[in-house]
């Protein structure tokens, strides 16, 4: 299989959830970003529901959650909140939901602690540290200046975060919705991103590790400026495939549930457009990487530094990676991108 197909072309209406596999429901929440929505999941328990990821923590998203609760038959009873990773579109309502229903947050240690660190601007997640990374990579002073004015947007989108959690680690098997789900930890997108694979359903809740029409954000962060997230990401995708029993790519995650776009079958779509920061193409179905065209990386390296921006126009760039002449992946041929 070389591309995704979408067995559910009709989107769930705002404030409703659609069943996409036995006991697995899909809902969408709006995002105030260029990527304008996120897919979230509900798993039906005997006596309630498990929520996987939560949307940003604003009034509009919470109002839609209320509609979802009302749309489901009977009194909505939440059993737990599962978080794939700390990013605000996933974590924004975790505390609100946990407090409202008196339930636990389940996630990994890396994501739990990172959420708190970023909210607090602690542990190196400071605007100064970010600016320094961008400065070292050649960002001009004008745009650096624009970044200085940025507030802690994460804390605005994640207004609170739970003070305790239940830790999940790679390989854990947990019962959700009456079925066994295996915890798969992936790297490169977030510190300790958790996906969930149910062999009985052959369903993977991929979080942001597999996206359908765009490339996953694989970034170098200020707290690990010489890190190699691309290598980690590619290794993780390969491990996901192995974890699914070593089956062929087409069988792997036959019903992958990525966060963007309608749930699709086959975990393989090539990005519609190449990622801007890293000259590489990733085909997750085959877990292969294609070499960039001859000379492409060298040509890219000669251009001025290029930021991956989430904003539009000349607005301040979000915290993300940039390409630079000595970009770590390029320098040592890591991640198959050989300079
Ligand atoms: Zn993410």
d(CA 337, CA 291): 6
pLDDT at 196 over 50: yes
Ligand 1 centroid to Cα of residue 60, in Å, is: 20
pTM of the model: 0.77
Band (246; pLDDT cuts 50, 70, 90)? low
Residue-range domains of the chain with CATH: 18-276 (3.60.15.10)
Q: Report CA(187)–ligand 1 centroid distance (Å).
A: 11
pLDDT tens for residues 207-230?
A: 888 876 666 788 778 888 888 888
Distance 337 CA to ligand 1 centre (A): 23
Question: Is residue 323 pLDDT above 80, yes or no?
Answer: no
State the distance from the centre of ligand 1 to the C-alpha of 208, rounded, in angstroms: 5
166 vs 138, which has greater pLDDT? 166
Cα 84 to ligand 1 centre (Å):
9
């Amino acid at each position: 299989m070389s591309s995704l197909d979408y067995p559910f072309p009709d989107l769930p209406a705002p404030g409703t959830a659609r069943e996409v596999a036995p006991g697995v429901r899909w809902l969408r929440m709006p995002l105030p970003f260029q990527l304008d929505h996120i897919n979230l999941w509900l798993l039906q328990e005997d006596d309630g529901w498990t929520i996987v990821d939560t949307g940003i923590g604003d009034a509009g998203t919470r109002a839609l959650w209320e509609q979802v609760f009302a749309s489901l038959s009977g009194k909505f009873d939440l059993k737990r909140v599962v978080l794939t990773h700390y990013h605000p579109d996933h974590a924004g309502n975790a505390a609100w939901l946990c407090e409202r229903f008196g339930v636990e947050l389940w996630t990994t240690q890396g994501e739990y602690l990172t959420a708190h660190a970023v909210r607090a601007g602690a542990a190196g997640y400071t605007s100064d540290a970010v600016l320094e990374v961008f400065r070292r990579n050649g960002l001009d002073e004008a745009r650096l200046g624009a970044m200085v004015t940025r507030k802690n947007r994460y804390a605005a989108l994640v207004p609170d975060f739970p003070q305790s959690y239940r830790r999940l680690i790679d390989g854990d098997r947990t019962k959700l919705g009456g079925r066994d789900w295996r915890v798969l930890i992936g790297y490169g997108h977030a510190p300790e991103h958790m996906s969930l694979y149910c062999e009985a359903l052959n369903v993977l809740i991929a979080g942001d590790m597999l996206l359908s029409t765009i490339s996953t954000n694989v970034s170098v962060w200020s707290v690990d400026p010489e890190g190699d997230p691309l290598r980690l990401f590619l290794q993780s995708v390969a491990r996901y495939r192995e974890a699914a029993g070593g089956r062929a790519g087409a069988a792997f995650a036959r019903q992958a549930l990525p966060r963007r776009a309608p749930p699709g079958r086959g975990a393989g779509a090539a990005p519609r457009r190449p990622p801007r920061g890293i000259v590489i193409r990733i085909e997750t179905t085959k877990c292969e990487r294609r070499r960039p065209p001859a000379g492409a990386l060298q040509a890219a390296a000669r251009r001025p530094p290029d930021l991956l921006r989430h904003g539009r126009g000349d607005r301040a760039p979000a915290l993300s990676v940039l390409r630079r002449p000595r970009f770590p992946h390029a320098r040592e041929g890591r991640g198959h991108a050989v300079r």
